[in-house]
Amino acid sequence: MACFGAFAQTGALTIQFDNVVGNEDLVLHKKTYKNALEEEFTISLFQYYVSNLCLIKADGSEYVVPQEDSYFLIREHDAKTHTATLNNASAYSAIRSPSAQRAHRRAAHARCLT
């Protein structure tokens, strides 16, 4: 998963999620991938929540986005869900999500198990 953020003139932050397998774009049903052991696999469903977002200012101070505004379901099969928008975010220079970090660790762990 790659995550890109862009600040708009309106003070909104739009985050775009681009799901990948290794260095390749994730393609459901049609593409076959290989894991570290050269075993082939195909992905038919890929979805996850991004939550508990934290915006970070250039000075290092942080703002935790309220929970009611901080849950996004990303579904690979639905391009409309590949972006998340946070309003009033123009004063921040970075973003952190513990849930995305946990998902990345789980994916790395899953690669080790296959």
For 7, phi and psi rounded to 5 degrees?
-85, 130
User: What is the reported pTM?
Assistant: 0.70
- The tens digit of pLDDT for each residue in 34-47 reads 999 999 999 999 99
In the chain, what are the domain boundaries? 2-113
Quick one: pLDDT band at residue 61, thresholds 50, 70, 90?
Answer: confident
Question: Which residue reads 């952190």 in tokens?
Answer: 96
- The tens digit of pLDDT for each residue in 93-106 reads 788 876 554 544 44
- The tens digit of pLDDT for each residue in 63-97 reads 888 888 888 999 999 999 999 888 767 677 788 87
